[in-house]
Amino acid sequence: MKLRGKLAIYLLIVIVSAVLLFVAPAVSGTSWTNMFGQLFAEYSEAVEAAQSENDDDDDEHDDDDEAASINMMVELDDDAEGYAGIETSQLAEYHYFAEIKAQAKVLAVTDLLALRSQYNQARAALNLAKVAELSSAKELARLTKLTQGTSSVAAKKVNYADADWREQQVKLQGAQFKLQDVKDQTRQQWGETIAKWIMTPNSKQFERLLSRQDSLLFVTLPIDHSLAAEVSFIRVSRNGDRDNARKAYFVAPAMSSDQLIQGETYYFRAATGKLRTGMRLDSWIPKDNELLTGVLIPDEAVVWYAGQAWVYVELEDGLYQRRSIRQGVDIAGGMFVDQEVAVGDSLVLSGSQMLLSEEFRWQIQDEDDD
């Protein structure tokens, strides 16, 4: 290419550069330095925003287990609040006896009757033996006296009488042993209290059992549970209906265990009503006799996170706080809680999971990105 051609090209480059440097800024209304400056500023801002976002995420993550308790707040603006459809309810006072659910069985009283019969027989036999022994002793004394005073009785007779007395003594002892055996057996099988009922003539309690006014219940607690000392009555129901369960009164610890459930066993008595021998019942045993006051958290309000149960409480319009109810007791219809959440708190009934999702939004993956 000739020189003038080259010159033209150089000139062209210069002109184009000039156009780029001067015309473009003129058209866009800003200088190149400003444009670069603005671009750099925007970039820095974006990087900072991204980093702070990541930092926030990390922090949140780290703090999960230390219970983010410092914060655990979710704030929704007016729009979000309107969209979320969150329903809340003022918590009312709730009274609660801590209870455990257990199995009970209506016992037959035939065994008790048999024992009572044995006991009575043994007692009669003992009385009989006592009379016989007394009679023998008297006979011996009479013969001995005659022998010593008049010698009108043959020694042989005295010896017979003595032998008879001794025999009666042994028999008496045997009857006593027998009676003691029955008593021991009764105590062994039914415990001191019921044994007393059996062995006490005209025992009112025993009579009520016999007349089927009362039924004797055999209650088996779940494994690893004990009956609190102060518990005097429990509630039982044939059909699992706690609300209509009737009272059963403590009788005594049972001596035997249930083959099905290997927990502690107790006897209770309850008015017979519609109970029939052999029936299996549900029973509710108070953990103690103390009436607790707190609130009832409905199941739908509870969310699980980090190994424990939580609820959200609305502190003010659009501001929600997550609170742990790990100490709560699972009861029918929800959880009884007497810590962390108080009467009058505005509990989130519907939308808890959404609030959890909002709080941990950083965990939501873009599913379509795979």
Partner 1 sequence: MLSKIVAFSVRFRGVVVALSLLLFSYGLYTLFNSSLDIFPEFAPKQVIIQTEAQGLTAEQVEILVTQPIENALGGLVGTESIRSQSIPSLSVVILTFYDSTDIYLDRQLVSERLLGLSQTLPEGVGPALMVPLESSSGTIMTIGLSSDQHDLMTLRSLVDWTLSPRLLSVEGVADINVFGGHEKQLQIQLDSDKLIRYGISVDEVTQAARQATGLIGSGFIENKNQRMVLKLTGQPVTATELAKVVLQKTESSTLYLGDVATVKAAPAPTIGGAAINTKPGVVLMVIGQYKANTLAVTQGIEAALEEFKDGFEADGITLHDELFRPANYIETSLSNIREHLMVGGGLVMLVLFLFLFNLRTAIISMTAIPLSLFAALIVLLEMGVNINIMVLGGLAIALGEVVDDAIIDTENIFRRLRENANLAVPKPTLGVVFEASMEVRSSVVYASFIVMLVFVPLLTLSGVAGRMFEPLGVAYILAIFASLAVALTLTPALCHILLTRMGDLSAKEPPLVRMMKPAYGLALRGVSHFPKLTLLGVLGFCLVGVGILPLLGGSFLPELREGHYIIHTASVPGTSIEESLRIGGQIEKRVAEIPGVRSTSQWAGRAERGADTFGTHYSEYEIDLDPLEGAEQQAVLDEIREVLAAFPGINSEVNTFLTERIDETISGYTSPVVVNIYGKNLDELDQKAQQVAAVMADVEGATDIQLRAPPGEPQLEVRLDLDKLAYWGLKPVEVMQTVRTGFEGAVVGQVYEGNQVFDVVVVLPAEQRQKPQDVMTLPIKTPSGAMLQLQDIASVQQVSGRYMILHAGAQRLQTVTCNVAGRDLTSFFAELKQRVHAEVDFPANIYPEFTGAAVAQAQSREDLIVHSTLAGIAVLLLLYMALQSLRNMLLVLINLPFSLVGGVIAVLMTGGVLSIGSLVGFVTLFGITLRNAIMLVSHYQHLVVDEGHEWNAETAQRGAQERLPSILITALVTALAMLPIALNSDSPGREIMGPMASIIIGGLISSTILNLLVLPSIMLRYGRFKATANPTVLETLRR
Chain residues that interact with partner 1, rule: CB under 8 A? 5, 8, 11-12, 15-16, 19-20, 23-24, 43, 46-47, 50-51, 54, 74, 76-77, 79-80, 83-85, 101, 103, 222-224, 240, 259-262, 280, 282, 299, 304-308, 330, 350-351, 353-358, 360-361, 363-370
Write out the DSSP string of 236-280: EESSS-STTPEEEEEEEE-SS--SS--S-EEEEEEE-TT--TT-E
CB of 369 to partner 1, least distance (A): 6
Closer residue to partner 1 in complex, CB, 54/180: 54
Closer residue to partner 1 in complex, CB, 290/299: 299
- Give the integer Cα–Cα distance in Å for 153 and 148: 9
| Helices 110-149 and 155-199, packing angle to 10 deg | 160
Closer residue to partner 1 in complex, CB, 198/355: 355
CB of 246 to partner 1, least distance (A): 17
Strand-pair category, 93-106 with 329-331: unpaired
Secondary structure of residue 352 in the 3-state scheme: helix
CB of 306 to partner 1, least distance (A): 7
CB of 240 to partner 1, least distance (A): 6
CB of 183 to partner 1, least distance (A): 32
Closer residue to partner 1 in complex, CB, 169/357: 357
CB of 99 to partner 1, least distance (A): 14
Closer residue to partner 1 in complex, CB, 81/162: 81
Nearest one of 90, 55, 75 to 320, comparing CA atoms: 75
- Give the integer Cα–Cα distance in Å for 217 and 199: 20
Phi, psi of 36 (to 5 degrees): -65, -40
CB of 51 to partner 1, least distance (A): 7
Closer residue to partner 1 in complex, CB, 207/330: 330
- Give the integer Cα–Cα distance in Å for 151 and 192: 54
| Whether the Cβ atoms of residue 310 and residue 324 lie closer than 8 Å to each other | yes
Q: Extract the tokens encoding 134.
A: 């007394």
Nearest one of 179, 183, 191, 178 to 107, comparing CA atoms: 191
CB of 121 to partner 1, least distance (A): 29
- Give the integer Cα–Cα distance in Å for 56 and 61: 8
Whole-angstrom Cα Rg for the chain: 45
Closer residue to partner 1 in complex, CB, 22/177: 22
Closer residue to partner 1 in complex, CB, 76/125: 76
Annotate 101-129 with three-state secondary structure.
Answer: EEEEEECCCHHHHHHHHHHHHHHHHHHHH
Closer residue to partner 1 in complex, CB, 83/177: 83
CB of 233 to partner 1, least distance (A): 21
